[in-house]
Structure 1
Amino acid sequence: MTIKLTLPRAGGTLYDYTLAPAGAAFDVPAKPFAGRIAFSAAHVVCDPFADADPLHHAQIDWEGTLAYRRHLWSLGLAVAEAMDTAQRGMGLDWHRAKELIRRSIAEAKAVGGRIACGAGTDHLAPGPNVTLADVEAAYEEQVGFVEGEGGQVILMASRALAACAAGPDDYERVYGRILRQTKRPVILHWLGDMFDPALAGYWGYRDDPDAAMDVCLRVIRANADKVDGIKISLLDADKEIRMRRLLPEGVKMYTGDDFNYPELIRGDDQGYSHALLGIFDAIAPAAAAALHALDAGDLDRYEAIMGPTVPLSRHIFQKPTYAYKTGIVFMAYLNGKQNHFRMIGGAEGARSIVHLAELFVLADRAGLLADPELAAERMNRALALAGVR
């Protein structure tokens, strides 16, 4: 069946688009990945029926949220919980993050899925009176909670630390103190300011990323037995490869580069990156199939699957990068994984209808619309709501 719909372009013009014929579903063998560890940072689903202020007190649809995690685990992916993809610090506060972490860890145990959870300082608002001791106490609270629930920690970057640190020594002090206390190795997370402007100058250097990397590497080397790996989200493949080659033996690089992930995961003759990616939420079936192809040594198949997802990912993560969550959730809506397009904090309005229409086209070209007829119906609903006729 041919499916057509009318989509908008910037400037108000319209064009007709015909969906590609429905292809075969991605082949995802029911076995673990052998060569790479692959985490998908997972989004949250807002409860559209909750009678609460959607900007400040939006409620989570727990069944829809946990069902999506079960979907990711069913494909063999691990879940990175309560990260920025879940609108952490941008709609999801620590109070609700605790409940999300508690429920998701319990669900992971029930289905045998792997999970790691974000622990940061987001319940501590940056301010002129915040001290390093305050930051340490905030980290200790959140790390203690995650580990108390039985979860692995992803040690998130801290806005409060970025605001109060006087220089690199303060980062080494805080991270060293926290890492010495952890019960099991953690994943560090270096999040660039394109994802969160409040993190500009992290590790003590605003305009010298190489010097910042050196500080981060000193922290890792001094605590290598407490560091499982590091996820860097700088959208710079060269910097990731450079850092990957400088990591101590046994410390993993988890790519957070949503622009260049296929080549970073594939790697080179000096190593490769594992994955901890927000885009894997949106491209989960393709990512899983590609990783199995990589395990089988079928690089052509790996590239054929991953390649078409890159234009979609670059579109979803275009500036302002922090608005990428809108595209991630819209993909889940198009694919019937949730029955509405409502987000915490009203974030469904963070991207234009022109942006969402182009997302639809790129998802179709990547073979990521599982049910094209349903996806077209839902795209038409969004278009009608935006006044596109």
Structure 2
Amino acid sequence: MNSLGLPKRPQDTRVVVAMSGGVDSSVTAALLREEGYDVVGITLQLYDHGMAVQKAGACCAGQDIYDARRVSDRIGIPHYVLDYEGRFTRDVMDDFADSYLRGETPIPCVRCNQKVKFRDLLNTARELGAEALATGHYVRRLAGRGGAELHRAVDPAKDQSYFLFATTREQLDFLRFPLGGLTKPETRALAGRYGLEVAAKPDSQDICFVPDGDYAAVVASLRPGSVEPGDIVHVDGRVLGRHRGVVHYTIGQRKGLGIGGIRGAEEEALYVVRLEPAQRRVIVGPRRALARSSVAIRDVNWLGPDLSEGESLEVAVKLRSAQPAAPATWYPGPGGTARVELREPQHGVAPGQACVVYQGDRVLGGGWIAAATA
């Protein structure tokens, strides 16, 4: 077995590396090249990079394609740019816009991994004769009794397992994540040792096709005429003001409501508690109104032990990427659904976000939040 767990010698093993032009994927390619693998670098053009090139730190933009090519030349591997713009628009950007219009809070990075990188690019890698597709994600793929398992990265500050919950068992068999055991400073140090010009390049912070962070403007551009004003309503029924469109709000939001607090014995801060897009209403209330104990999940991708409907499993779940995992009980349901009962109520549970399931460091899978109740 070689270092990737494959039976051939590295020089007889072709590996495609998904190269975004950032330091992580660049080091991934350089590491594998140093070990002697037959490495092929592929960068995806996902959207009109003429606009994005003006924004530093945006993934898969014009500058990033140029950086990926320079790295490939530096380490001596072939590099190809594939035009996936049509697929990306259909499977990621359109889904993003429609989710917001349904009153959800989407995660386009998960959709991109699920529908573009780990489906379409993986198939392309196979067509090129590769035996693995490697990425610069900070997550670990470990061998378990039942096959490959997905685990958190060693560096908790960089762990990206939340965004990879939709990886299927078949995809996990083909994928490799060489950086899962490294910290970010160690990765940058390797980039310096390899002489890569991207060694100090900043990490991407924004959603790649929303370079200025204005999600509502992107939705309005993709779905002209769909962003309409409406009422901001307190949970007790009082109309407190007007909004510019439901797409400007997400569950748990406090800032930017423009209505202040409710004065009583003392002023009480208000949060977005619920969105009603059909009625064009934003429902607000005190923080306690956000508490949710039961979460309905759809489109489950399961990587854990086999469970039948009616069984349950004690787990920990992450309901937002920046929140810590919370103890819960997982109940599988019919047709790719599940129910999560939280040991302690959680705040800001938003439809459209992911519920990712863990036992220790292992990712058991997850699904999309459909609804949540107190």
Larger radius of gyration: 2
Q: Give the structure with the larger strand fraction.
A: 2
TM bucket (normalised to shorter chain) is under 0.3
Q: Give the structure with the larger helix fraction.
A: 1
TM-score, with structure 2 as normaliser? 0.24
